[in-house]
Structure 1
Amino acid sequence: MSLYSPVRQGRSSLVVIADDLSGAAECAAVLPGCRRILLDPAVPVRPGETPVIDLDSRRCSPAGAARLVTRAVRRHAPTGARLLKKADSLLRGRFAAETSALAAGASGLVVALAVPAAGRTVRDGVVRLHGVPLHHTDAWRAERAPVPRSVAEALGGARTTVVPLERVRAGAPRLALCLRSALAAGATAVCDAETDTDLDAVAEAALRLPPTVRMAGAGGLAAALGRLSGPAAPRTVTGPAPGEPRPVVVVVGTAHPGSVAQIAQLTRHGARHTALSAASLLGTADGGTRTASAPARPDRAPVTVLSIAGTGTVDRSAAPHLARALARTVARGLPEDADLVLTGGETARSVLDELAVTSLLPIGQVHPGAVHCRTADGRGVVTRPGGYGGPDSLLRMVDALRTGRGRAPQTPHPSDGGAP
C-alpha cells in the first residue's frame, strides 16, 4: 500500500505488542477498547477487540526477542490491524532488535517514546528524564550495556529522521506530510514530544497513514491513541462478592532505591514485611534443592510485603533466576482469596506464570503506570513498573484492592511522577 493511499482515520483496529507485563498493563489501562491483556500470544483475538499482548521478551536474547515480535507481526499484520510495539520509555530491553523486527515488511515506522506524566520527554531525538538527557542520569545503573545517547543510537544504526517539536506542533495534517516524507525516504521517524498534546498530534498524524505504517512507543503514545479512539462502554468486570477485605500480598521485585521508602509507608500502616535472602532464593531457581525462607502464614496478615534483601550485591545476570525463585515462593504460600500487588514486569509475569494465569481483565489505573486488573477467577492484581510512583505508591495500590477502587482520580496526585 502506498503511503499516499487514502485511509480513513481510525478505520483499522489496533493490536499492541509489549515486551513485559507492566508495560502491557500500562497500555491496556489507557486504551478504552482493550478488554484483555493476553499472556499467551497464541490465544485467538476476537473480531473488533483491541488486545494488548505481553510477549515477555524483555528477558530474551536480542535474537529471541526479535523472533517473538516477528511471529506476532506475522499473526496480526495480515488482519489489517495497526500495530503498536510498546517500548520502554528509557530505551531499556531489546529495543533495537524488536523495532527492527517490527519494521520488517512495513511501509514505515513511527517512534514516539515520551511519557510526560512520568517526566520522560524527547527533544532533538534525545530521551530526557525530568529535562536531563538520559545519558546524564543514573537510570541505567542496573543495565550492563552503556546508555544510548539518542534514540537513533538505541536503534542500532537504523536510518532515522528526527521530527522536531516545531514540526510536531504544526498540526496533524502537516505532521502527517512530514512523516510521509521521512518514511518515503526509507527512514524511521523519531518524534520529539514534551506534552500530551504533542503525543496527540503524533498519534493523529500516524493514523492518517496506512495501517502498513507501524508504531513503536511508550505508554504516552498508547494513551494518545486511546484519547483519539473516544469513550468506550464501561468495562464490566465481575469480582468477588462484597464482604470483608481480602488479604493482599505485595511482591516487590525491583532493586530501585525508591522501593525502600514505598515499603516503609506500607509497614507504617500495619503491613508485615519480610525480606527474603537472595542467596536462599537463588538456591531454589532452575531445579535447585534449597528452600527460600518464607514468612510464617502470610495469609493471616491483612497485608504482607515480600521483597529481596541485598539485591544491590547480586549480579544483574542473576535477576531472572531471582524473579522466578521469588515467584515460586509466593505461589507456594498464596491463599486462594488473596489479591496481589506486583512491581517490576519480570517479577509480575513470573508470579502469574506460576499461578497459570494466561489473561488479565484491565479495570483502570491507580496512578500512572500502576494498573488494576482482575484474573478470570476473580483475583485482584495491581502491576507497576519497578521505578514508578512516589513514596505512597504501594500504599495506594493496596488501597485500590482493599476498597475496590480501580480508577485513579482525574486530577493528578502529587506523587504520581515516575522515578527513573
Structure 2
Amino acid sequence: MSLNSPGRPAGSPLVVLADDLSGAAECAAVLPGCRRILLDPAAPVRPGETPVIDLDSRRRTPAGAARLVAQATGRHAATGARLLKKADSLLRGHLAAETSEFAAGASGLVVAPAVPAAGRTVRDGVVRLHGVPLHHTEAWRAEAGPVPRSVAEALGRADMTVLTLDQVRAGATHLGGSLRSALARGAPVVCDAETDADLDAVAEAVLGLPHTVRMVGAGGLTAALGRRCGPVAPRTGPGRAPAAPRPVVVVVGTAHPGAVAQIAQLTLHGARHSALSAESLLGPGGDGEHPTARARAVLEGAPVSVLSISGTRAVDPSAAPRLARALARSVAAVLPEDADLVLTGGETARHVLDELAVTTLLPVGQVHHGAVHCRTVDGREVVTRPGGFGGPDSLLRMVGALRTDRGRAVQEPYASDGGPR
C-alpha cells in the first residue's frame, strides 16, 4: 500500500512499528493494505508490503526498548518507507527513549496521539481522557512512574512545538505551512486533535511532506492514514470450517476495573470462569493449588472459559510483567489444539502467543473499536484488545464473533461518530 492523496503520485509504502501487540493489531485493522502483523522484528518484509511490526518493546527496559526501535527504524528507513511509530494514546511505555531513537536521522517528527473514538484527545499539547487532563485521571494507577502532564513532558522534550486546534483546522494550505515552519526549527511537533476530521487533516498534511518526516501516533492517526487509501475491505485468511463451533478460551490479563463487569457478562451467558491469585501465579501452590491445574480444570470440556488474575489484593505494578508471563504459561500448558483465543491486554496477549510459538498474525477485521480479529497461519482464531477498551459487553461480543462468525470476516471500521459501525 502506498499512502497518497488524490492527485498526487503514489507515495512511499508505510511501515508501522508498534510497542505492544494489541496496539499493533489495532493499527493493522484500519490499514487497507496490511495483510500481516509480524511478531518477529527481523522477519523479512515483502516489496510494497504494508506490515505492522510488534517490537514488543513495552515490556523491555528503556534501554532495551530504545535498541529495538533503533534497529527497526534503521532497517526500514533504508528501504525508503514512510515510518509510523505506534505509541500508547495515554502516553504509557518507554515513550521518551523510543521516540529519541525513532527520530534519529529523520528530517522531522510529527506527534499526534489522539484517539477520538476512545475519548482520548489532545488540546494545547495535553492528552485528555473524556475531556479530563490525563494527569487528573486514574488512567496511570497501574503504572510505576509519575503521570506526564503533557506530550512534551512524556517525550522529555521542552522544545516541542504545539500546533493548536485552530491551526489544525485552518485548512490544508495553512496547516501544511505551519508544519513546515515548525519542523524547520528542528524540534518535534505535536498536533492537537479532538475529532477524526482533525486527524484526517494532520495525516493529509504530513503526507504532503517528504517521507523522511516520521510520525508518532496511536490508532487514531493510523486510521486517518488508512482512510487516505479508501475503506478497509473484509479480509480472510487460512482457516478451518468445522461442523460445530470450536471452544473459546478468554484470557484477561488487564487490571482495568471494567474487566470485572465484562467477565460477569460472559459468565451470565454460561462461560466458566476461574480467577487465579497473584500469589499462586508468582509462587505456585501459595493458595493450595497450582495455577496450571486450576487452568486445566476450568478449560476441560467448556465451550467458553475465562481465566483472569484475581483482583482481591493490590499488586505491585513491578510484578505485572511476571504475572502476565505466568498466566500465559498456565494457559499455554493446557490449551486445547482446537481452541480459539480472546486475549485482553497487549502484554498478556504477546506472552500467550510467544508460548504458542506464533510469529505472524493475519488480520481479518474488527469486532468493535480496538478488538481485532486475526488468524494464525495454522488457522487458530485470535481476538486481541487493549486492556482498557470496550464496554461491559466487549468480551461477550468478542467471543460471539468467534463462535458464530468463524471462517467469515468480522468488520466494523472506525466510525466518524466515535463508535463502531
Question: Same fold, TM exceeding 0.5?
Answer: yes
1:170-215 superposed Cα distances (whole Å, 9 cap, x missing partner): 1223211111111110111100000000000000100000010000
Q: How does 1:15-414 map to 2 (within 5 A)?
A: 15-231=15-231, 234-283=234-283, 292-295=292-295, 296=297, 298-310=299-311, 312-404=313-405, 406-409=409-412
Q: Secondary structure at the match of 2:228?
A: helix
1:270-320 superposed Cα distances (whole Å, 9 cap, x missing partner): 0000011211111259xxxx6544231614100000001137422111111
> How many angstroms apart in 1 are the aligned matches of 2:158 and 2:416?
39
> How many angstroms apart in 2 are the aligned matches of 1:120 and 1:328?
33
CA contact (8 A) 2:22 2:345 kept: yes
CA contact (8 A) 2:236 2:409 kept: no
1:234-290 superposed Cα distances (whole Å, 9 cap, x missing partner): 5231211242000000000011110000000000000000011211111259xxxx6
> How many angstroms apart in 2 are the aligned matches of 1:272 and 1:413?
36
CA contact (8 A) 1:252 1:342 kept: yes
Q: Secondary structure at the match of 1:313?
A: coil
Question: Given the two structures, how large is their TM-score scaled by the length of structure 1?
Answer: 0.93
Structure 1 position 403, deviation (Å): 1.1
Question: Given the two structures, how large is their TM-score scaled by the length of structure 2?
Answer: 0.93
Where does structure 1 lack aligned partners over 5 or more consecutive residues? 1-6
1:18-59 superposed Cα distances (whole Å, 9 cap, x missing partner): 000000000000000000000001110001110000000001
Where does structure 2 lack aligned partners over 5 or more consecutive residues? 1-6
> How many angstroms apart in 2 are the aligned matches of 1:163 and 1:284?
52
CA contact (8 A) 1:109 1:189 kept: yes
In structure 2, the CA distance between the partners of 1:323 and 1:413, relative to structure 1 (3 Å rule), is: farther
CA contact (8 A) 2:160 2:188 kept: yes
In structure 2, the CA distance between the partners of 1:414 and 1:222, relative to structure 1 (3 Å rule), is: closer
CA contact (8 A) 2:125 2:151 kept: yes
> How many angstroms apart in 2 are the aligned matches of 1:369 and 1:233?
17
In structure 2, the CA distance between the partners of 1:130 and 1:353, relative to structure 1 (3 Å rule), is: same
In structure 2, the CA distance between the partners of 1:202 and 1:9, relative to structure 1 (3 Å rule), is: farther
Q: Secondary structure at the match of 1:73?
A: helix
CA contact (8 A) 1:284 1:325 kept: no
> How many angstroms apart in 1 are the aligned matches of 2:417 and 2:294?
35
In structure 2, the CA distance between the partners of 1:414 and 1:270, relative to structure 1 (3 Å rule), is: farther
Structure 1 position 231, deviation (Å): 4.2
In structure 2, the CA distance between the partners of 1:242 and 1:414, relative to structure 1 (3 Å rule), is: farther
CA contact (8 A) 1:183 1:189 kept: yes
Structure 1 position 157, deviation (Å): 2.5
- Sequence identity of aligned pairs in percent? 76
> How many angstroms apart in 1 are the aligned matches of 2:199 and 2:249?
36
Structure 1 position 10, deviation (Å): 4.7
> How many angstroms apart in 1 are the aligned matches of 2:71 and 2:415?
38
In structure 2, the CA distance between the partners of 1:153 and 1:9, relative to structure 1 (3 Å rule), is: farther
In structure 2, the CA distance between the partners of 1:284 and 1:226, relative to structure 1 (3 Å rule), is: farther
> How many angstroms apart in 1 are the aligned matches of 2:172 and 2:418?
32
- Counterpart code for 1:153: E
> How many angstroms apart in 1 are the aligned matches of 2:313 and 2:396?
24
- Where does residue 4 of structure 1 map in the other structure? none
1:45-92 superposed Cα distances (whole Å, 9 cap, x missing partner): 001110000000001111111110000011100111000000000000
- Between Structure 1 and Structure 2, how many residues are aligned? 408
In structure 2, the CA distance between the partners of 1:245 and 1:158, relative to structure 1 (3 Å rule), is: same
In structure 2, the CA distance between the partners of 1:79 and 1:119, relative to structure 1 (3 Å rule), is: same
In structure 2, the CA distance between the partners of 1:232 and 1:266, relative to structure 1 (3 Å rule), is: closer
Structure 1 position 149, deviation (Å): 0.7
In structure 2, the CA distance between the partners of 1:416 and 1:204, relative to structure 1 (3 Å rule), is: closer
> How many angstroms apart in 2 are the aligned matches of 1:97 and 1:193?
24
> How many angstroms apart in 2 are the aligned matches of 1:299 and 1:390?
28
Q: Secondary structure at the match of 1:100?
A: helix
1:133-183 superposed Cα distances (whole Å, 9 cap, x missing partner): 111111011112111111111111352000011111112232111111111
CA contact (8 A) 1:247 1:299 kept: no
CA contact (8 A) 2:114 2:122 kept: yes
Structure 1 position 414, deviation (Å): 11
CA RMSD of aligned residues (A): 2.1
